[in-house]
A and B are shown apart, each in its own frame.
Chain A
């Protein structure tokens, strides 16, 4: 009975709607007219090619940088600092970063003002370049912290960390330098476990809509943008074509991901002789790693500083390095005349708390053997293109009469937050030392008291991290929110995307910062509240 009651809320509010959404999306794409319309779309193939190119290039670039950074910093005094640094980078939403990065590199942006000058902006094509290079670079820059954090957490897990520390010493005593030890001992052992994070990054990069609307090419745009337009602005026929497009994009991403995995395996086999080639004094790539971290920190700082300055500058004519006058007008407008900020904050707080409750309830009542299904569904929901899930969610919520409704809006914000909360909490929750509970029970503590006074406090750090991750994930929901809101609600990401296409740059910067600051503050609060107070 307890088991059923513990699983029911999560199944009812998340798993069943998610699976129903996928079924609906696939069913809706069964119409041959939709596929015919899709296949004759003049921009289909170039747009698909562009999507796969930006996703692949951004993933490769980000992964190579993350590996170099990790290799250079691993077991150095800077290693403990890498995780909080990466977490700070992750806390900055993709959309906010894209808006700031776009303004930084555009012809009249800060880079041109500092580097070129002159009376008029240079004739550069930076954002929205036809090859999608600026989108690729922005995606790669934004995914480096995520991949570094993933590698860091793999290497820092209790048993793994202890084993690798011993293996590291053994390899050094056998004549291998730090770089060679990383390459031959550490990296091969983490590669397979990076499959899911890489798949999530690749799928996100190949199907992203909000960043593509800000930085991506327009003729053609990436396929996800065409799909989004079909789903958002179209007739029933266009909707069906959009869903068929989402299925095609999913299949293409899945096929390319499978091919990439095979290629990686083949590379692993081809590189096998390297393992037994004998000792090499190759040092750790400390300099390149430091330069990469430095460059990333510089770009992220420049983006944040530029957004801050611009949000206070209603006018900033070229080629001035600093705005001629500062004003609070954009912030006043954001805080007083737009409900988007408060709606997004409310949804983020509610969905992160609800997700935490549901996921904790699951872990408290379900046997460990059932986690596999939870985690596979969570990872799959993050790895599948958001346009596909959003299209299905729209169909499900339309039938339930929840489109254009705050409950529907809440549910689509809740779905990815639960997925992240489950992934973040699974390992720490299941590896919790049950002897503490046995000790509390022997001291006559009931279930609630045991959780409140023993387990909760001991799991405070992962619980707070899950809440912070959930909050920031909710804040940036764009595609499903836009579809379900049906014009009746406006959240921050919707307003920010609208403003980038023709609105005031200062207001756009204020909205981007409003997207970025709450997650940053929540992460900071979680880090402060989660500090260990015992040894």
Chain B
């Protein structure tokens, strides 16, 4: 299993929100987790990413390719995230946003990779543009490519399609899932909307602190 959660229990002010959650996600698979507001879905994402803050607390183990990463800093886990907002850094250009997360190395090679990523996203020539000059769909694609060029070992999607209109939603969803599958990146996605889940993918439902197959 590439991303595995073992006996994860999440509490808010000492009250359990999620009890003993276990899941394994293989490379390239997208598992969807659904549940009502306030059920702890986003907090679970923060716990996996490593930046869970008070008043939440959690126990359990997170394994990446068998390695326990539960106690290492978020920046060392290499778990990429996409949020409801694209969170592009407004003071950086599109190109700088991509280079921000790309591992260090030869400058020319990094620039070439950045250009290639933009081309893959249909955004060739957009590197010097400021994020605020982009449309919602373009921003969403830049956010995904920024996460991808950081070479994540797993990906967390926290309702990333929520703020997109219906037409764009389908396009971006396909774009994201295709990239995750091609690169073999295991992914956990939380959403309110059943339609966001990839066709044929596993869907889990969080109810009263228990996670069950939908």
Q: Please give the residue numbers on chain A whose beta carbons come within 8 Å of chain B beta carbons, in ascending order.
A: 77, 163, 166-167, 169-177, 180, 184-185, 188-189, 272, 275-279, 281
B99 pairs with A167, CB closer than 8 A: no
What's the least CB distance linking A30 to chain B, in Å?
Answer: 45
Besides the known contacts A174-B150, A175-B150, A276-B96, 10 further A-B residue pairs in the complex with CB atoms under 8 A apart: A167-B89, A171-B101, A172-B75, A173-B147, A173-B152, A184-B100, A189-B90, A278-B100, A279-B75, A281-B75
> B176 to chain A: closest CB distance in Å?
15
Task: Give B residues with C-beta under 8 Å from A.
Answer: 46, 49-51, 54, 73-76, 78-81, 83, 85, 87, 89-92, 95-96, 99-105, 110, 146-147, 150, 152, 156
Select which of B73, B101, B110 is within 8 A of A174 by beta carbon.
B101
Chain A residues near B51 (CB-CB < 8 A): 169, 172
- Cα distance, A189 to B104, chains bound together (Å): 23
Residues of B within 8 A of A276 (CB): 92, 95-96, 99-100
| Neighbouring B residues of A167 by C-beta, 8 Å | 87, 89
Q: Which residues of A contact B73 (CB under 8 A)?
A: 172, 177, 281
Tell whether A175 pairs with B101 under 8 Å between CB atoms, given A169-B49, A169-B81, A281-B76. yes
Chain B proximity of A365: nearest CB distance (Å): 35
A-B contact count (CB 8 A): 91
Closest CB in chain A relative to B188 CB, distance in Å: 13
* Bound CA–CA A404/B15 (angstroms): 68
Q: What are 30 of the A-B contact pairs (CB < 8 Å)?
A: A77-B54, A166-B83, A167-B87, A169-B49, A169-B83, A170-B83, A171-B100, A171-B101, A173-B49, A173-B75, A173-B79, A173-B81, A174-B75, A174-B101, A175-B75, A175-B150, A176-B101, A180-B75, A275-B91, A275-B99, A276-B92, A276-B96, A277-B99, A278-B102, A278-B110, A279-B100, A279-B102, A279-B104, A279-B150, A281-B73
> When the two chains form their complex, are residues A275 and B100 in contact, meaning their CB atoms are under 8 A apart?
yes
Interface of chain A: mostly helix, strand, loop or mixed: helix
Q: Cβ of A173: which chain B residues have Cβ within 8 Å of it? A: 49, 74-75, 79-81, 147, 150, 152, 156
Which residue on chain B has the smallest CB distance to residue A167? B87
Q: Which chain B residue shows the least CB distance to A192?
A: B91
Tell me the minimal C-beta distance from A147 to chain B in angstroms.
20
Beta-carbon nearest neighbor of A77 in chain B: B54
Chain B residues near A169 (CB, 8 Å)? 46, 49, 51, 81, 83, 87
Closest to B152 in A: A173
Q: Point out the residues of chain A lying under 8 angstroms from B103, CB to CB.
A: 175, 278-279
CB distance from B31 to the nearest CB of A (A): 18
For the complex, give the distance between the alpha carbons of A176 and B79 in Å.
Answer: 12
Q: Which residue of A lies closest to B155 (CB)?
A: A173
Q: How far is the CB of B131 from chain A (nearest CB, A)?
A: 11
Complex Cα distance A167/B87, Å?
Answer: 5
Q: Which of A170, A176, A278 contacts B87 (CB 8 A)?
A: A170
In whole angstroms, how far apart are the Cα atoms of A189 and B87 in the complex? Answer: 14
Q: Give, as a whole number of angstroms, the nearest-CB distance from B81 to chain A.
A: 4
Using Cβ atoms and an 8 Å threshold, which residues of chain A touch B146? 174
A174 to B81, CA, bound (A): 8
A contact residues around B78 at 8 Å (CB) = 175
Q: Are A279 and B101 in contact (CB under 8 A)?
A: yes
Question: For the complex, what is the distance from the CA of A281 to the CA of B74, rounded to whole Å?
Answer: 10
B90 to nearest A CB, angstroms?
7
Please give, as numbers and ranges, the residues of chain A lying within 8 Å of B96 by CB-CB distance: 272, 275-276
Q: Which residues of A contact B76 (CB under 8 A)?
A: 175, 281
Q: List the A side residues contacting B91 at CB < 8 Å.
A: 188-189, 275
Set of chain A residues within 8 Å of B46, measured between Cβ atoms: 169
A279 CA / B75 CA spacing, docked (Å): 9
Of B54, B78, B100, most buried by chain A (CB within 10 Å of CB) is B100
- Smallest beta-carbon distance B189→chain A, Å: 15
Complex contact A174–B105 (CB within 8 A): no
Closest chain A residue to B156 by CB distance? A173
| Alpha-carbon distance between A185 and B89 when the two chains are bound, in angstroms | 7
Nearest 5 Cβ contacts at the A-B interface = A174-B101, A276-B99, A278-B104, A173-B81, A172-B74
Q: Give A177 to B78 CA distance when docked, in angstroms.
A: 12
Report the bound CA distance from A188 to B90 in whole Å: 10
Q: Give, as a whole number of angstroms, the nearest-CB distance from A123 to chain B.
A: 52
- Complex Cα distance, B101 from A229, in Å, reads 59
Q: Least Cβ distance of B110 to chain A in Å?
A: 7
* CA of A180 to CA of B96, assembled, Å: 15
How far, in angstroms, from A483 to B159 measured CA to CA in the complex? 64
By a CB distance below 8 angstroms, the chain A residues around B95 are 276
Cα separation A77 to B102 with both chains bound (whole Å): 30
Q: Which residue of B lies closest to A282 (CB)?
A: B75
The residue on A at minimum CB distance from B78 is A175
Contacts of B81 in A (CB 8 A): 169-170, 173
Question: A77, A177, A272: which contacts B75 (Cβ < 8 A)?
Answer: A177
Instruction: A20 to B95: give the CA distance in the assembly, Å.
Output: 51
Chain B residues, CB < 8 A from A278? 99-105, 110
- For the complex, what is the distance from the CA of A172 to the CA of B78, rounded to whole Å? 9
What residue of chain A has the Cβ atom nearest to residue B101's Cβ?
A174
Residues of chain A within 8 A of B99, CB atoms compared? 275-278
Shortest C-beta distance, A361 to chain B (Å), equals 36
Find the residue from A163, A173, A180, A276 having the highest chain B CB count within 10 A: A173
B87 contact set on A, CB distance < 8 A: 163, 166-167, 169-170
Alpha-carbon gap, A277 to B102, bound state (A): 8
Set of chain A residues within 8 Å of B147, measured between Cβ atoms = 173-174
A77, A188, A279 pick with most chain B CB within 10 angstroms: A279
Q: Could you tell me the distance between the alpha carbons of A371 and B77 in the complex, rounded to whole angstroms?
A: 48
B182 to chain A, nearest CB (A): 20
Bound form: Cα–Cα A513–B176 in Å: 64
